[in-house]
Amino acid sequence: MTRAIELAGVWKFFGDYAALRDLTLNVEEGSCCALLGRNGAGKTTLLRILAGLSSFEKGKAQIFGDSPRKGWPGYLGHGIGVYEDLSARENLRFFARLSEVAEPNQAVEKWLERVDLKSAADMLVRQFSRGMRQRLALARTFLHTPKVLLLDEPFTSLDDRAITMLSELLVESRNRGATIVLSTHQLREALAIASHVALVENGRLRHTGERTSEMLDDPGLLYRLYS
Amino acid sequence: MREKVAIGSAVAAAGLLTYNLYRMFMVLPDEALQGAIYRILFFHAPAALVGMVGYFVALTFSILYLSSKNFLYDSLAASLVEVSLVFSVVNIVTGSIWARIIWGIWWTWDYRLTSALVCILIFFGYLIMRRAIDEPTQRARLSAALCIFGCVDVVIVYKSIEWFRNQHPGPVLDFRTGGGHMDPAMQTVFGLSFLAILLIALSLVLIRTRQEALAREIDSLRRLAHTAA
Amino acid sequence: MRALLVARKDLAVELRTKESLNAAGAFAVVILLLFSFAFDPGPEMIHEIGGGLLWLVFVFAGALVFNRGFARELPNDCLDTLLVSPLSAADLILGKAISNFLLLVVVELISLFVFGIFYSVRWAVRPWELALLFLLATWGISILGSVFGALTVNLRLRELMVPVIIYPLLIPLLIATIELTNLLLTNQPLTASDFLWVKIIVVFDLVFTALAVLLADTILVG
């Protein structure tokens, strides 16, 4: 099994404050790692480093042997990442061209259909309901069929329809061999899809390993064990 | 160690300045054409030079920060900009006073004075930006970038304002009315004055650098306290 | 080129909302109008200071344009999405500079038109040279506006800081441009020493574009 994601001894400082301390984490290709931890533990910082959005002071971070800045992961952060003053179709076409998707227009139409936004494709995002925005965000994230997916609390504030959609998309991605890291507070949905878990606390990795069936039955298990 | 150097320079500077002031007022005669006011040169010119050089030393430290990510360089760069700014203001104020006495006007669009003013504005912007950023790593990174842009611009500013003044001549701030030669007695005082001002600048930079480091430490302790709570 | 994709996207949004264009255009007209009340200029005064007036108008109205530049990437965290994509930081800054440039040129054309009418100035006497000058100078303003838009995008008091930081840096460019504009508007021949100004503008553009590309990652990725 090749290592898709390798973090070795990573330290990230904000001034003299260490947000990540000597963090070492390996994620095998094709696996799905659920990143658990309280708010402020360092999950978002970690994901941003993997996405190439943040630099770090010490250690090594590699995605398929390359610097994270060079990669094209599917990234879903806290914001939906689409432009309010463009239509759904225009948004997706822009991102498709940026990511050099083959036959961008066709890909865009396929995804509009997939997230059930075909009928609203020419409406401005400004006029979208919350659920529609979430579904467009999902389309934008998965549009270029990424090999690596980095999702920061993706289930938060999704409606039921979007949660189902996201779960399906994640399973599909796993089936085609993509590597997924997602941070979450929604333990049930995430643990169902995850093959591995990692618990982060105060910038350190407290636990890392396979997702067991005990965890599935009792999602709060890890938190209780380590606090 | 750094503190000893800072205090040492300050004491040496105080000594030199006292000696110089005595020489300036008690020993040296008034200048032939300008009268008493020429003595302001002993502060005006060194302040100008220290100010200008300081910006470029800050540039060096900014580049060093970007390559090493060592916060010491960021503190040094910021302190140097601050201290240089102060000396640039001294330069402008003394130039202004001189202009008032000699030309009867408070300001003259002499190219050196004007360029110094533009530099002050550029690096004042640098300080304002630093104050607006709370997070130390971001502050260091963006300050370094701005310092690089600022210093490169300073070079272009000086050249362009000099050319502008060539095309639109006006009063020029030049202390050497006697054809460019300074009396040897004045030369020693000038040299010592320059050294004194350099030592003051060194002392101030070291003190400010220490303050910046302490401020950063306090910031991180504050963060630690918040996350622990 | 990816920078062009970004510029196209920005222009598409701008043409739909016309926020920056309306604000900057209106602001330019207002300044030109106020100037006529403040100074009641005759033709000789306009000849002497027309260049200066125009470029002050462009730079002040321009601030409205490039303040919006990076700010429009903030809602919904679009900036993060752009940086994660294959787009490099340098592409992003250049793309924004290109869209700033085009918007600024539109504002300049509107201003020239109004200026000509308000002050009965025939500004198109040396159209090609004037056009070249405007394009070169506007690029200098746009690239600096883009860089500092990027630098201040996540800072508080952003709108206050951009003018404070950019205007002093633009001084050499403005000096050169205003000198040449005055010469061209009054149809005077350009001497060899005047070409010094052209050199300054070209050097300014080249140096700051190069710096922008070199420091793009430093500025945008933290």
pLDDT in tens, C158-173: 888 888 899 999 999 9
Is the per-residue pLDDT at A220 higher than 70?
yes
Instruction: Give me the pLDDT at residue A170, please.
Output: 93
**Going by C-beta distance under 8 Å and a sequence separation of 6 or more, which residues neighbour residue B75?**
B208, B209, B212, B213, B216
Instruction: Give me the pLDDT at residue A92, please.
Output: 96
The number of distinct structural domains making up chain C is 1
Asked if the C-beta of C157 comes within 8 angstroms of chain A's C-beta atoms, the answer is no
Is the per-residue pLDDT at A172 higher than 60?
yes
Instruction: Give me the pLDDT at residue A195, please.
Output: 92
Tens-digit pLDDT profile for residues A93-134: 999 999 888 899 999 999 999 999 999 999 999 999 989 999
Those residues of chain B that have pLDDT short of 70 are 31-34, 170-182, 227-229
- What subunits make at least 3 CB pairs under 8 angstroms with B? A, C
Instruction: Give me the pLDDT at residue A143, please.
Output: 93
3 state SS of B41: helix
Closest approach of A75 to chain C, Cα-based (Å): 7
Tens-digit pLDDT profile for residues A202-217: 899 988 888 888 888 8
Closest approach of B91 to chain C, Cα-based (Å): 19
Instruction: Give me the pLDDT at residue B118, please.
Output: 92
Helical H runs in chain A?
Answer: 43-51, 88-98, 104-114, 130-142, 160-175, 187-193, 213-217, 221-225
Instruction: Give me the pLDDT at residue B177, please.
Output: 45
- Is this complex's ipTM strictly greater than 0.85? yes
Tens-digit pLDDT profile for residues A48-73: 999 999 888 889 999 998 888 888 89
Chain A residues whose beta carbon lies within 8 Å of the beta carbon of residue C2: 98
- Asked if B129 lies within 8 A of C156 by C-beta distance, the reply is no
Choose the weakest-confidence range: A18-27, B59-68, C153-162.
Answer: C153-162
Burial of B4 (0-12, 13-18, 19+ CB in 10 A): exposed
Which of C5, C12, C75 is nearest residue A90 as measured by Cβ atoms? C12
- Site from A47, A50, A53 to mutate, C interface, most C CB atoms within 10 angstroms: A53
Tens-digit pLDDT profile for residues C97-106: 999 999 999 9
% of chain C beyond a pLDDT of 70: 100
Instruction: Give me the pLDDT at residue B33, please.
Output: 67
- Identify the domain containing residue C64 by its residue range: 2-220
Instruction: Give me the pLDDT at residue B100, please.
Output: 87
Instruction: Give me the pLDDT at residue B204, please.
Output: 92
**Going by C-beta distance under 8 Å and a sequence separation of 6 or more, which residues neighbour residue C118?**
C32, C33, C36
Chain B residues whose beta carbon lies within 8 Å of the beta carbon of residue C191: none
% of chain A beyond a pLDDT of 90: 63
Give the separation between CA B75 and CA B62, rounded to whole angstroms: 9
Which of A16, A40, A57 is nearest residue B220 as measured by Cβ atoms? A16
Is the per-residue pLDDT at C201 higher than 70?
yes
Q: Are C178 and C48 in contact (CB under 8 A)?
A: no
Could you tell me which chain C residue has the CA closest to the CA of B117? C168
For the record, the structure tokens of A49 come out as 């480093």
* Predicted TM-score of the model (pTM): 0.90
- Site from A54, A72, A75, A150 to mutate, C interface, most C CB atoms within 10 angstroms: A75
Tens-digit pLDDT profile for residues C26-42: 999 999 999 888 888 88
HSE at residue B111, side-chain half, CA atoms within 13 A, is 17
